[in-house]
Structure 1
Amino acid sequence: MPSGPVNGLPFTAVVGMDDAKRALECAIVSPSIRTVLLRGGEGTAKTVLARAAAGLTGKKIVNCPLNVTEEQLFGGLDVEETVRTGVPAMEKGLLSRADGNILYIDDINLMDRGMLAGIMDAVLTGTVRVERGPVSGSYPCATTLIATMNPDDSDLSDHALDRFDLCAYSADCTGEERRLIVSRNAELASDPEGLAQRFEKSQEEEREKVSRAALILPMVTVSDELISVVCELCQKVGAEGSRGDIAMVECAEAIAALNGRDSVMKKDVEEAAVLCLPHRRSYDRPPPEPPRDQQNEDTRQDDGKNNDEQNESEDQNGQKNSGEPPQGSGEQPPNRQDQDTRQDDGEDRDKNEPPQNGMPDIGEMLFEIGRQFRVIDYLDSRERVPSRTKARKGRRAVAVSADGTGRYARAKIPSGHPSDIAFDATIRAAAPYQSERHKDGLSIAIEDRDIREKVRERRSGATLLFLVDASGSLGVRKRMAAVKGAVLSMLRDSYVRRDRIGLMAFRRSSAEMVLPPTRSVEYSYRKLEDLPTGGKTPLGEALVRAGEYMTSYARTHIGERCFIVLVTDGRANVPVAQGADANAEALKTAENLRIPGVRWIVVDAGAGFPHFDNAEKLAAALEARYFRLEDLDADRLAEGVRAAVDR
């Protein structure tokens, strides 16, 4: 086999990344392992290692760019041959060059989902099928797919992840590893030939190891007992289907062969589990019961006025005397917002505002983004049948561009006068008929019926305005802390998703725009930190203000998806019109509030109390998606809302 490349680091010269190296070795050894995913942050040598692996095989790396079109990737009409013969002929795509080689895709999580599905089908079946207009055919594609991704940019769907046989995560480097990385890269820049020679022996040993393992692999056996262990492990982590079980057995066999053995041992299965299970771990299961002290605390909050006042007194005493929350409370030390909450709440209650119906009010919860948790499906405003879904961080929805900007995705037959002609598709449409047409000296004759128009797509951002009830009824300290932390988490996530997030709070007698839609995490942190709570609930005024703001916003941000996330118990006590019934007025306002291009999501912060369905009625009036806090806890609520936004 040829020696390692001199224009890149040799495989054995790459520092660390033991799991990724093992995954690539297994893929080289086993023809059954066809897909490998390397996950890690920027600058963790994922691409370097993937390209270095080709030096062990003698195969070529075929790079698949993210902006490739379907015609270029899979194939389509061979225009030249079709024009010459008058018979539709197929032209193979980029995947034909990957046959017998290694297909490499960098940042695969940013690839169009339809294209990715087609690639995975081709790689796993070993055949590319082309069905395009007058062209129908297929060609072989026996290849190994090596892909990389940075999960901080976005994530792949669960289905796409499951189709990767192996997945390795890049760990952070130690101080000594960092020193070696810098040293070897400096040597590569100054003396690549010398570096290749220095690692030539280790490269040759590595080649011999994988070559020997490939010969041993057909003789490797695995016992029924270990197969049972594999199945049990896959079941424990909630891996759906059998892909994980099969991949894990194949990986364990390859590891045994790499270790020079013809039988799989338990340690091989354990090593294979690291590469086959983490990306298949399912969160689509009932969550574990919360700790007992947390359950007790929630119970105390729901028991009634006396218990609530007793707990509040204990919290204040414990924090005021020691500067720390009582042990086992699970609460954070007091901050400015907590002090404002107590001061404002007390001030307003002195002004003839008794606790509503003698009940304590559930504290606020908002949406934390970024962590992967099992989430029950959000409830549709029309169809309240609970189901389960897994929501992962991913890309914003792709929308068809109406202004001629964006990525050329496909072509269509124009409905009127075309403004953006797709010349490639037009020529392909005309090619089969050239033998029948009078060309008058033209290379190709095009008629009106051949004209095709470009369909351009771009990722559409979204704006989420959180309309938060900051009144005394929802001023429990722990919940407002969750609101702040969750909004900040969504702001961090919005940088990746191109989303903007704003915050409007309502309390006392008005609604205030605390944070206009922004992507600035630092600015939002300062604004949220100083947000006070307490006072009455001007729900009707808040609906009007939010409606006015988002109506204007949607008009100036055409094509952007807009949402208002209302967090409240739905119990208003400050009417807009003097003397009106506040709750009836709020419902009437909601029924008449229709904002083009803006959708509502209602989070019922009072759903845990019996006999109150104000928020649910409000959601129905707004035609909004409805959540109950008793169904989605603070950690999982974020992903439920994100799933609703991403639908």
Structure 2
Amino acid sequence: MRDHAAPLDDAILAARLCAIDPVGLGGMILRGGGDLRDRVLAALHGALPPGAPLRRIPAHVDDDALLGGLDLGATLALGRPVRQQGVLAAADGGIVVLPMAERIAEATAARMTAVLDARAIDAVPVRVAVVAFDDGVEDEAPPQALVERLAFRIDLSECRGPISSDPPAAEPNVDSSDAQPLDPIAILAAAAAALGVDSARAPLFALRAARASAALAGRSAPDAQDVGVAVRLVLGPRATRFPPPPQEEEAADTPPPPPETESGEEERGAPEPPEDVVLAAALAALPRDVLERLAAGGGRHGANRARGTGERRKSPLRGRPLGARAGIPRGGLRLSLIDTLRAAAPWQKLRERGVGAIRIRRDDLRIRRFETRAETVTIFAVDASGSAAAARLAEAKGAVELLLAQAYVKRAQVALVAFRGVGAEVLLPPTRSLTRARRALADLPGGGGTPLATGLDAARTLAEAARARGRTPFLVVLTDGRGNIAADGSAVRESAERDAEDAARAIGQAGIGAVFLDTAARPRPEGARLALAMGARYLPLPRADAAAMHRVVVAAQAA
């Protein structure tokens, strides 16, 4: 286990490597850390040539401020178009800092990545290193397009203990007397494949980092130590699986090594192959909870981050500002006066004089746009039938309380539907009140038949009602999947199973996100079949407690 100061040492080492090759490595993402990030930024800025610019980009920057555009005030004052330099061009040869990178719009990130790829704006060279500060909560993260183009990702959120003013360089991974000529390209490609890194940029970043590490140490070519540093800093944070264990049978069939010769160093060999050394370096850098996150099948940088905190929706009136677009301010849409003037200014001399000092046409009109986050409603549909109902309801109660403890952070509400006997009951309407939830869940009924179709229909109705109020529903079904009460109340198993599949299919057609937790002691095909019809993730959890259920639900929402 690495000590708590190691992430800061890695971050400053990454900053020094980035200063050697800022364009090739792109930059770095620093998560958490508070004031420690300023130390890393100062280390990077101090390692660059004197006078290198440092610019900060706000999360809600517009295109003209980012890439350059019309200076509206100077244009209106002088009566001719006057262009202003964008932040990226002004930072040429230096650093751009992105505070709150998790709040940058996808469109803004796309424009930045286009500049990073082309290394120019309108054929004018732009060479910058990007330092993104990630303060996201739970599944919030910077846009994936930007993340892919930055070599280093360092988590400083758990960095504690004494901090040295001059952190040491990377520790040697192998004895230099045993060093062998190695092929860094082959080793890095093999390490990326073993760690499940499917991005083609990652091994290239690792190769550049290894060369920068060698240059930092005064070596002409990277050795095993440099390759280990590159794997730890670049490939380790991108790992999606653990490397497979060595094959024992192959080791048994391996003949003993030949005796050492007088002059041949090849026969002696190194204590460990370079591939094993660099993989060990990567595993040492993996987060503590990587096993849980990999087992849950999710991560912070998943493809759909919005589900955990609600869908992103466009709004004409309120929310986070987005860039203006051409349009007519009607139907509740608001006019963006500044953007309208900016669009009209270049054409003033070409237009016939009319009433007023500024001549505006229909095509110049710009409307304001906003983005809001929909509130999430997690709906538990719990099978309260049979002898195991009390245990399942107790587990669901604990999971509901754990989710409600995070309600204010994740803008979430929780509801509970229990089905037993011949019907279903909404025991807890959508709420964020932990006190109300505990009072409503104090005495939960149990026993009787399993009206699975009725329970699924009740949960879908509640989810559609939440969606109609502008919320994002997410359904959690806890059952063994074996319904025995049909939708009409008859105790015919064939009809009950058919009605349950129809109800599950209706949930899938409604596009409601869901996870199916099979609570049967021995999971059977019925549960997997219903999950497939719902379009839900199927997870057999025969002995799950409230904490395990809570972790699974959170991981499924973020996946």
TM over 0.5: yes
TM-superposed CA distance for 1:420, in Å, is: 0.5
Q: Report the Cα distance in structure 1 between the residues aligned to 2:353 and 2:310, rounded to whole angstroms.
A: 47
The 3 A distance-change label for structure 1 pair 240 and 503 is: same
Instruction: Tell me the alpha carbon deviations over residues 5-39 of structure 1, each in whole angstroms, 9 at most, x when there is no partner.
Output: xxxxxxxxx99821111011111122444433343
Structure 1 78/257 Cα, relative in aligned 2: closer, same or farther at 3 Å?
Answer: same
Q: Is the 8 A contact 1:616 1:626 kept in 2?
A: no
**Structure 2 residue 123 is matched with structure 1 residue 165:** no
**Is 1:463 equivalent to 2:449 in the alignment?**
no
Q: Does 1:439 align with 2:353?
A: yes
Partner of 2:294: 373
Is the contact between residue 72 and residue 94 of structure 1 (CA under 8 Å) also seen in structure 2?
A: yes
**Structure 1's 595 and 408: CA in aligned 2 closer, same or farther, altered over 3 A?**
same
Q: Does the 8 A contact of 1:604 with 1:626 survive in 2? A: no
Q: Using the TM superposition, name which of 589-598 and 561-570 deviates more.
A: 589-598
Deviation, 1:405, is: 4.6
1:45, distance to aligned residue in structure 2 (A): 1.7
Aligned partner of 1:245 among 197, 203, 224:
203
Q: Deviation per CA, 1:137-156: give whole Å up to 9, x if none.
A: 45332111112213545234
Aligned length: 488
Instruction: Give 1:11's aligned residue.
Output: none
Q: Which residue is 2:174 aligned to?
A: none
In the alignment, what sits opposite 2:111? 118
The 8 Å contact of residues 325 and 366 in structure 2, kept in 1 or not, is answered as yes
Between the aligned partners of 2:39 and 2:509, the Cα distance in structure 1 is: 49
- Residue 358 of structure 1 aligns with which residue? none
What is the CA–CA distance in structure 1 between the aligned matches of 2:214 and 2:290, rounded to whole Å? 40
Report deviation, 1:525: 8.2
CA apart distance, 1:396: 4.2
Match of 2:357, SS state, is coil
The structure, 1 or 2, with the larger RCO (C-alpha pairs under 8 Å, 6+ apart) is: 1
Question: 1:174-227 CA distances to partner (integer Å, 9 max, x unpaired)?
Answer: 5555xx9xxxxxxxxxxxxxxxxxx8xx79xx9xx9xxxxxxxxxxxx965333
The Cα shift of 1:564 comes to 3.3
Please name the residue that 2:455 is paired with: 542
Shift in CA distance, 577/147, structure 1 to aligned 2, threshold 3 Å: closer
Show the counterpart of 2:60.
Answer: 67
| Structure 2 residue 33 is matched with structure 1 residue 36 | no
Give distance in 2, aligned partners of 1:600 and 1:250: 41
Task: Give distance in 1, aligned partners of 2:453 and 2:389.
Answer: 19
Name which of structure 1's ranges 239-248 and 33-42 shifts more when overlaid on structure 2: 33-42
Is residue 2:514 matched to residue 1:601?
yes
1:583 positional shift: 6.5
| Contact 2:477/2:515, CA 8 A, preserved across alignment | yes
In structure 1, how many angstroms separate the alpha carbons of the residues matched to 2:290 and 2:390? 22
Distance in 2, matches of 1:277 and 1:530, equals: 51
Identify the range of structure 1 (103-112 vs 52-61) with the bigger mean alpha-carbon deviation. Answer: 52-61
* Aligned residue identity for 1:165: A
* Comparing 519-528 and 237-246, the one that deviates more: 519-528
> SS state of the match for residue 293, structure 2?
coil
Q: Give the structure 2 partner of residue 144 of structure 1.
A: 129
Distance 1:143 1:415, change over 3 A: same
Gaps (5+ residues) in structure 1? 1-13, 129-136, 181-198, 210-221, 289-367, 378-388
Are the counterparts in 1 of residues 380 and 396 from structure 2 also a CA contact under 8 Å? no
Return the letter of the residue paired with 2:184: L
Q: Deviations over 1:367-407 (max 9, x none)?
A: x9995326779xxxxxxxxxxx8666876432111444542
Question: What's the offset of the Cα at 1:264?
Answer: 2.1
CA contact (8 A) 2:416 2:428 kept: yes
Change (3 A) 1:50 1:544: same
The 1:279/1:410 distance shift into structure 2, 3 A limit, reads farther
Partner of 2:420: 507
Which amino acid letter does the alignment assign opposite residue 422 of structure 1? S
**Which AA in structure 1 matches 2:503?**
A
User: 1:637 and 1:265 mapped to 2: Cα distance?
Assistant: 42
Shift of 1:237: 0.8
Query: Quick check: 603-612 or 509-518, which moved more?
Result: 603-612
Q: Does 1:107 align with 2:107?
A: no
Contact 1:409 1:457 in 2 (8 A): no
- Please give the secondary structure, in 1, of the residue aligned with 2:294: coil
Find the partner of 2:327 among 413, 422, 428: 413
Change beyond 3 A, Cα 1:546–1:152: closer
Q: Is the 8 A contact 1:554 1:560 kept in 2?
A: yes
Task: Report the secondary structure of 2:219's partner residue.
Answer: coil
| Partners of 2:296 and 2:556 within 8 A in 1 | no
Cα RMSD (Å): 4.8
Q: Matched residues in 2 for 1:71 and 1:174: separation? A: 41
Give the whole-Å Cα distance in 2 for the aligned partners of 1:576 and 1:371.
Answer: 39
2:38 alignment partner in structure 1: 47
- Report the residue type matching 1:504 in the other structure: V
Distance (Å, rounded) in 2 between the aligned partners of 1:615 and 1:397: 27
Counterparts of 1:483 and 1:278 in 2: how far apart (Å)?
36
Q: Contact 1:469/1:507 (CA < 8 Å) preserved in 2?
A: yes
1:275 and 2:233 equivalent? yes
1:552-583 CA distance string (max 9 Å, x none): 5445x3x3222333343443334575557576
CA 101–532 in structure 1, closer or farther in 2 if over 3 Å, else same = farther
User: 2:294 is matched by which residue type in structure 1?
Assistant: F
Match of 2:256 in 1: none
SS in 1 for 2:449: coil
SS at structure 2 position matched to 1:464? strand
Name the SS of the counterpart of 2:360 in structure 1. Answer: coil
Partner residue of 1:625? 535
1:279 to partner: Cα distance: 2.4
1:642 maps to what in 2? 557
Using the TM superposition, give the Cα deviation of residue 236 of structure 1 relative to its aligned residue in structure 2, in angstroms: 1.2
Aligned equivalent of 1:256 = 214
Question: Would the aligned equivalents of 2:417 and 2:427 in 1 still touch at CA under 8 Å?
Answer: yes
2:188 to 230, 247, 250: 230
> Matched residues in 2 for 1:396 and 1:82: separation?
42
Whether contact under 8 Å (1:369, 1:493) holds in the other structure is: no
Distance 1:269 1:143 in 2: 25
For residues 478-489 of structure 1, the aligned pairs below 5 Å read none
Q: CA shift at 1:104, angstroms?
A: 0.6
**Contact (CA 8 Å) 1:507, 1:535: kept in 2 or not?**
yes
Is 1:562 matched with 2:473? yes
Residue by residue over 1:38-63, the C-alpha shift from the partner in whole angstroms, topping out at 9 and shown as x without a partner, is 43435362234314542443323200
Give the AA of the match of 1:46. R
- How far, CA to CA, are the matches of 2:83 and 2:119 in structure 1? 18
TM-score (ref. length: structure 2): 0.70
Q: CA deviation at 1:167?
A: 2.1
